[in-house]
Chain A
């Protein structure tokens, strides 16, 4: 087979060439032997780069990835693998589960035996499994090698095309015409060429042979989209680089400021709002249901400028951005993005501003502000001094009857003061204060405080003295430095795919032999459009033909 790579036109072809690179004569026996069938025009019949006589191991690996058939298999396997992962929820959807055992138990509880098998097979984490990633890597490899292997030979073939093609090449195209030579050959050729030019063809002449071509660039579409995909896949891989990627959750009460872990940024939840649609806004079947309309965290982002790494001092913060974070409207600052993720509707006491009341005279002193978190240690109220001795966020008694806090949340806060002042001993009296009325009653504040309860009272005069956080807002903080590359890859892919699928490379060859006009035309897509175009040009040039009669497939039985 490799002995006859030299064509009768004198051109020396590469091994594996199907159609002579110069004149287009079919070279392989398969094609030369059946003079009736239309030709296979893939890659213009040139040999792929990797096709050679004695492949070694490297060549074999290369050839494997260079095959479109292998590429299709890879795509199909990826498709099947991906679909398996949708049977049950994937592990990464459960933020609160982490260990193998926890996942095992979850799948067992929710999906029974099938769930256990699913988990054991690793199908519950398909998309991060070695074999799935391996398939993607192989697809990436195939993209590179397939493209490299085809684009250069194709470029070579298309950039040095011979105008006069072999007779067999012309007569075995998908679109063909053969008929008697027009009366005035030269004039007809001129006007035919002009018609084609009007249809934006480039036209070349070589004696009485003609070649016309348009939209060659669309042939590069597939290679461009493959480049886009490679960039995309590399960018996806780049997201694994720790410095490029961050994914944190920050829960904030209203008014609370917290550091974003691992960064120099702090974020404050100024106010969280949740709104539901009113019944008037809802259609009949949804009336009475809680349909959320808005989740919004008014947030301020700070950057720490001083004593950021010194736990003995409070960090010095300077605000850099204020934004209303809503679903679909994240806060974005220098690659850092804060998304509204979730919220917990749980009212929490932030601070109270009570008055100290002399029960006998009714005189009020204050107010003084008592913060639930890190309160000041001493307070002045008129002639009295209050010293904070102890504080419980969630007051209760342990099993030995000792006061303790049941949690870190201010569910039932209690403050233990030493009060000094008129009518009180020098060392002061202990006074326990429950800011919430319900706790005051439940834990019997007056009984606990004994005698002093008859003298003094700490009391919040109105609701304006109470600061509450209605909701806790959870924000998702993200850094994803690979995103620009992801979008670049996607954009290049789109350009390539549109080039390849919305424009069609069309070529027309024509020659005269002994008073017979032979025409062949080829396109990689949309033969129908090519037939219409050729028929219209020929008819206008004065040789009426119908588009259907040009169809070579119909001619062959």
Chain B
């Protein structure tokens, strides 16, 4: 019996450190539900207006801009031209810009996109699932993502100007190296 005393003590204390360390560590480093700069945005796989399926995995390695918008949100409408211009300017340079519509009918989204002249890829969220995973609270919200998949900035509210968007794209592109 005596022979095993030391090993038993070591094993018990080791387990305590392991399990207890995990428990306490969990409280210290628990990730909050809110996305913040430096996090990786959740993955998504959505249908776009043109009928193709977009998987966020395809954007890996590219600077990425994700703009959440709805037809019911005036600032969203107001920043559409800026997004479209930026898209035209950067699409050949490997920058990916997508708009994710906030779970509205395809009909409304199409008609709206036609009116405001938005031709960049617009993805259709369904039942607010993607929106929830991104933890959105206000619209529009724009995520700027480095090529390595980390969020550079989250801009809540709008309308954004072309200069604002460009400034962030510069950072994304610079961050590629």
Contacts and interface: CB of A to CB of B under 8 A. Distances in A.
A148 B24 contact: no
A407 B135 CA distance: 19
A145 interface: yes
Size bracket, chain B contacts: 35 or more
B34 to A, nearest CB: 5
B16 A137 contact: yes
A240 B24 CA distance: 11
B31 to A, nearest CB: 10
Q: Which of B51, B124, B127 has the most CB of A within 10 A?
A: B127
Contacts of B52: 312
Nearest to B127: A258
Interface string A441-484: 00000000000000000000000000000000000000000000
A529 to B, nearest CB: 35
Contacts of B132: 261
A62 B76 CA distance: 63
Interface stretch (B102-110, B143-151, B161-169): B102-110
A158 interface: no
A343 interface: no
Interface string A483-509: 000000000000000000000000000
Given A258-B127, A404-B77, A141 B20 contact: yes
A200 B61 CA distance: 79
B28 A311 contact: no
Given A140-B20, A145-B12, A259-B129, A390 B107 contact: yes
Interface in A137-151: 137-138, 140-141, 144-145, 148
A49 B53 contact: no
Contacts of A98: 32-34, 135
A261 B126 CA distance: 11
A136 B104 CA distance: 48
B24 A309 contact: no
Interface string B99-126: 0001111111001000000000000101
A240 B28 CA distance: 13
B9 A405 contact: no
A391 B20 contact: no
Interface in B1-38: 1, 5-6, 8-10, 12-13, 16, 19-20, 22-24, 26-28, 30, 32-34
Q: Which of A98, A144, A148, A408 has the most CB of B within 10 A?
A: A408
B34 A390 contact: no
Contacts of B129: 259, 261
A399 interface: yes
B107 A388 contact: yes
B154 to A, nearest CB: 12
Contacts of B5: 49
Contacts of A309: 45
A98 B46 CA distance: 27
Contact of A406 (B27, B72, B105): B72
Interface string A388-410: 11111110001100001111100
Contacts of A141: 16, 20
A240 B77 contact: no
B71 interface: yes
A77 interface: no
Contact of B77 (A99, A133, A394, A398): A398
B51 A133 contact: no
A133 B19 contact: no
B106 A374 contact: yes
A335 interface: no
A374 B105 contact: yes
A3 B8 CA distance: 27
B12 A144 contact: yes
B20 A240 contact: no
A375 B105 contact: yes
Nearest to A249: B132
B175 interface: no
A377 B107 contact: yes
Given A311-B45, A404-B71, A133 B103 contact: no
A375 B127 CA distance: 15
A343 to B, nearest CB: 18
Contact of A311 (B6, B12, B111, B126): B126
A390 B104 contact: no
A152 B6 CA distance: 15
A128 interface: yes
A53 interface: no
B23 A128 contact: no
A389 B111 CA distance: 8
A237 B19 contact: yes
Contacts of B106: 374
A309 B19 CA distance: 37
A286 interface: no
Contacts of B32: 98
Contacts of B1: 152
B111 A137 contact: no
Nearest to B21: A137
B53 A393 contact: no
B89 interface: no
Contacts of B20: 134, 137-138, 140-141
A321 interface: no
Nearest to A260: B129
Nearest to B105: A374
A58 interface: yes
B74 interface: yes
Given A259-B127, A310-B53, A137 B23 contact: yes
A145 B126 CA distance: 54
Contacts of A278: none
Contacts of B133: 261
Contact of B24 (A61, A134, A259, A261): A134
B23 A136 contact: yes
25 contacts: A49-B5, A59-B9, A61-B13, A62-B13, A99-B34, A128-B27, A128-B30, A130-B27, A134-B24, A138-B20, A145-B12, A237-B22, A259-B129, A261-B132, A309-B45, A311-B53, A311-B126, A312-B51, A375-B105, A394-B72, A398-B74, A399-B74, A405-B71, A408-B70, A408-B72
Given A390-B108, A392-B108, 16 more contacts: A49-B5, A58-B9, A58-B10, A128-B27, A128-B30, A129-B27, A136-B23, A137-B16, A140-B20, A311-B47, A311-B124, A375-B105, A391-B105, A404-B77, A408-B70, A408-B72
* Shortest Cβ-Cβ A-B pairs, 8 listed: A137-B20, A311-B47, A390-B111, A405-B72, A130-B27, A141-B16, A133-B27, A258-B127
